[in-house]
Structure 1
């Protein structure tokens, strides 16, 4: 089973609390992540943070539908896949770091497991593109440039 991973960071001109609130607003992801077409929170914890959410995402081979379970920390948010259609697994994490100028460094680490018979160079380009588009979409949303 192929496993692909990409990790990248971006600096965003927004304070850590604002960035954290934005990434935790899972239902708004279709507004700033180009591949996410639907996002619906199924369950929240006692603080109102998402525990599980369902997604529909466009891919090169069709629409993928999957459910993610979340874990939260003061400096980020992680997840793992509960069930999926095209993916056999997914783990991800946003890690946030407060910068001296009031900005926030966002590191996005994404791992996807699947059974798709695609060449390694293509899979690598796809996952790196997903991570890059997601971070640029987040910065655009927070900085009002989009």
Structure 2
């Protein structure tokens, strides 16, 4: 059973600054709560990651999964899990829409299907916590 969520916040940063932060995958363990390790597996000619292997502590267990990425610089970063990981499906995106010179509307969208039995309330709680951790961490990165 998949759980989907979307949250939009305003951050004091440009889309270009936000794009640079979220495409620096190897820094995720430093600012995204729950991400334990990231290994970039493939990089495009322009230096953007095309795939990565992530390990996350999701409280009930540690899971690893491989994500593939697509980009529309500087406004969209999307990812989709590849078959074979500990999680059946992870799809998500960051979308950056400028509001003014230094304020951006950030929409974070996430769909998760763990592929193993999890009570619905726990899955919803975990999905909300993942979104909150990502956006709180992103906000903290912009304030550095």
Q: Which TM-score applies when normalising by structure 1?
A: 0.92
Consecutive unaligned residues of structure 2, counting only runs of 5 or more, are none
Separation in 2, partners of 1:124, 1:141: 26
Instruction: Give the drift of 1:60.
Output: 2.3
1:30 counterpart SS class: helix
Question: Does the CA contact (< 8 Å) of 1:12 and 1:143 recur in 2?
Answer: no
Consecutive unaligned residues of structure 1, counting only runs of 5 or more, are none
**Equivalent residue number for residue 67 of structure 1:** 66
Equivalent residues in 2 for 1:56-135 (5 A)? Answer: 56-74=55-73, 75-135=75-135
Describe the superposition over 1:88-137 as per-residue Cα deviations: whole angstroms up to 9, x where unpaired: 11111100010125211111000011233222122111101110111011
Instruction: Give the drift of 1:84.
Output: 4.6
Separation in 2, partners of 1:120, 1:135: 23
Question: Does the CA contact (< 8 Å) of 1:77 and 1:94 recur in 2?
Answer: yes
Q: How many residues align?
A: 143
Instruction: Give the drift of 1:3.
Output: 0.5
Flag as ranges the 4+ runs of structure 1 deviating above 6 A.
none
RMSD of equivalent CA atoms: 1.2
Question: Does the CA contact (< 8 Å) of 1:8 and 1:131 recur in 2?
Answer: yes
Question: Does the CA contact (< 8 Å) of 1:65 and 1:84 recur in 2?
Answer: no
1:34 counterpart SS class: coil
My pick for the range that moved more, 10-19 or 98-107, is: 98-107
Q: Which TM-score applies when normalising by structure 2?
A: 0.93
Separation in 1, partners of 2:101, 2:69: 30
My pick for the range that moved more, 111-120 or 126-135, is: 111-120
Residues 1:21 and 2:17 are matched in the alignment: no
Residues 1:7 and 2:6 are matched in the alignment: yes
Describe the superposition over 1:3-42 as per-residue Cα deviations: whole angstroms up to 9, x where unpaired: 0111101211111111111111111111110110101111
